[in-house]
Structure 1
Amino acid sequence: MKKLLFLLLIGVSTQVAAQQQLSEEEMQKANNPLANAKALNFQNYYVPNIYESSDLRANTFLVRFAVPLANGKILTRFTMPVNTVPTGADASGVKYASGLGDLNFFATYTFSKPTSKLLIGAGPQVSIPTANNYYTGSGKWQLGGAIIIFSTASPTLQLGSLITYQASIAGQEDRSEVSSLQMQPFVLLQLGKGTYLRSTALWNFNLETDVYNIPLGVGIGQVVKAGKTVFNLFLEPQFTVAHYGTGQPSIQLFSGINLQF
């Protein structure tokens, strides 16, 4: 999956040569989770180190598609992960499993006006057990909700958060029940000419087992426009500042290419 991301970078680079001037509105919209624009995202979380053993690695590649409806009042978002996770070890070394994860979908209704400097959206969320490997999915149907808050009051500093909760409602009886809370704060500092600093690390809380992981991200991104498409490229190392439980990453490398059109 990292090779695919590299090929996408090459493809984007050929477009950058013909890049056009970005407006302030396009720059802010590029990182706005409630933007009234279709978006196709290719994102990757690489975990080079897990607390219990520096020999363990993990990777999650995300394909995400967002479609606004009703003149932007409703946002639908689909996310399909491809996961690689450690499953154990023997004399030959660490064993890994790779495969599709569980398809996630949410739809939020934006309560504020499109011209508002503070956007608030909320709606239902569902995860479907589409994993083709025992280790890469939960084996459970999950239902919950999502809340998104995003402020564009400042042209230089944008703040916001995505909060989701979901719990298992059906699925394989021999699999663990799921009750998870995720919080993703957004801090985006515009530096000019499409360059920005970012911190968007995802905080994970397993309410069934009390396991949690709270990372802090410090990254950089670049927004460019080619034709009618806005490309957003970024790299964000994320360092765990608090955690409890086994299997937690000490550092993650979050990278991606987001397309808006």
Structure 2
Amino acid sequence: MWKLTTIVAVAAACLPAHAQDSADELAKQLSNPVASLISVPLQYNADFNIGSEDGTKQLLNVQPVIPTSLSDDWNLITRVIVPVVHQDDVFGNSGSQFGLGDTTPTLFFSPKAPTSGGWIWGVGPVFLLPTATDDVLGAEKWGVGPSALALKQTPGGWTVGVLANHIWSVAGEDARADVSATFLQPFLARQLSGGRTLSFNLESSYDWKGDAWNVPVNIGYSKVTKWGGQMLSLAGGVRYYLETPGDGPDWGVRFTLTLLYPER
């Protein structure tokens, strides 16, 4: 069976000065989830040592981000996460499953200009769509809730912020458990020269129905570069789980290829 893999090549070490300036600006925008930048991240995740059979879960998140200008003062940022999953023995000796997971679109309404204190923010709804192709890959529920984001970028190249949302199920398969889940992601990034960024975040989530935390720490390194006429970002990193529900994974890896479409 076909399995998810990501092939990431190493970009050229040096760019012309004007290209480096462009790369630095794009790297800064990538650290801002509500920047006016069309991007298509292809994020590959692999988690290991899951459950009693030391199962493995591979996840390819296709995450297009599309900003739309609503007025002179406001943007609408549409962020969609479509997961493609391949997993082996994640529920004991449960065999392999492959297919789509549930889709989560988020709409952020965000001012184009930062506040007087330099803060960038956005608010809007988040949705849960039951698009999973296997009942073990999704919740089989429709859901909705609020989402909010706040961040600040300093002249010294630091980005600090937090993203949060909560989803309640509102319809779906009656035999499946209801959804009430909070996602909280504090993040910190240090922009370096040449379009490089070092990032840290906690992708913590709390299941209110199951009374359980899932708290992975992600450390990543990325670089903006150009292949032919296409601007893109290459990223890699590791993940360690501080807490997981049940016998969850110990650690994992992440590699991301992000296609960038800056305004011309």
TM bin, normalised by shorter chain, reads 0.7 to 0.9
Contact 1:65 1:78 in 2 (8 A): yes
Contact 2:4 2:86 in 1 (8 A): no
Name the SS of the counterpart of 1:198 in structure 2: strand
Contact 1:48 1:57 in 2 (8 A): yes
> Which residue of the partner structure matches residue 238 of structure 1?
239
Name the SS of the counterpart of 2:192 in structure 1: strand
Contact 2:57 2:90 in 1 (8 A): no
Query: How much does 1:159 deviate?
Result: 0.9
> Which residue of the partner structure matches residue 84 of structure 1?
86
> Which residue of the partner structure matches residue 64 of structure 2?
65
Distance 1:28 1:229 in 2: 18
> Which residue of the partner structure matches residue 42 of structure 1?
42
TM-score between both structures, scaled by the size of structure 2: 0.85
- The 1:192/1:87 distance shift into structure 2, 3 A limit, reads closer
Query: How much does 1:17 deviate?
Result: 8.3
Query: How much does 1:230 deviate?
Result: 3.3
> Which residue of the partner structure matches residue 192 of structure 1?
193
Query: How much does 1:196 deviate?
Result: 2.0
Distance 1:258 1:40 in 2: 5
Give the gaps of 5 or more residues in structure 2. Answer: none
Query: How much does 1:31 deviate?
Result: 2.1
Seq. identity, %: 24
TM-score between both structures, scaled by the size of structure 1: 0.86
Per-residue CA deviations over 1:161-211 (Å, capped at 9, x if unaligned) read 211110110001111111111112221112322222111341121111111
Kindly report which structure 2 residues correspond to 1:1-261, keeping only aligned pairs within 5 A, or say none.
2-3=4-5, 5-6=6-7, 9-10=8-9, 13=11, 20-23=19-22, 24-50=24-50, 52-53=51-52, 55-70=54-69, 73-85=75-87, 86=89, 88-89=91-92, 95-111=95-111, 113=113, 117-225=118-226, 229-243=230-244, 245-261=245-261
Distance 1:96 1:220 in 2: 31
Number of aligned positions between the proteins: 251
Per-residue CA deviations over 1:79-135 (Å, capped at 9, x if unaligned) read 110123335455xxx512111011111111114625873111000111110111111
Give the gaps of 5 or more residues in structure 1. Answer: none
Per-residue CA deviations over 1:32-52 (Å, capped at 9, x if unaligned) read 1011011111001210122x4
Distance 1:31 1:226 in 2: 21
